[in-house]
Amino acid sequence: MSNICIITKKKLIIGNKISHSNKKNKKKFLVNFKKYKLKIKNKIKKIKISVKAIKLIKKNIIKNEKKKK
């Protein structure tokens, strides 16, 4: 699997790690990936997505349940 979230399109970025003495060193900022089980067409698929995407999925599920009531 690649290091790009399929939902939010987040990917690795490169920036500077700045020490107390203000030295700048290159650093890779990785995406916070988690494995998530998603039910698609009555089949459970395990995908690797960012935590931000998991929050979006849960938020939309809650909104949809409130609309049904």
Q: With a threshold of 0.75, does the pTM exceed it? A: no
Share in percent of the chain as helix, strand, coil (round to 5): 25, 45, 30
pLDDT of residue 60: 87
Classify domain 13-68 at the CATH superfamily level: Ribosomal protein L28/L24 (2.30.170.40)
- pLDDT per residue as tens digits for the range 8-67: 999 999 999 999 999 999 999 999 999 999 888 899 999 999 999 999 998 888 777 777
Distance CA 19, CA 27 (A): 12
Q: For the chain, what are the domain ranges?
A: 13-68
Nearest to 52 by CA among 38, 36, 67, 32: 32
The pLDDT-based confidence of 1 (bands split at 50, 70, 90) is low
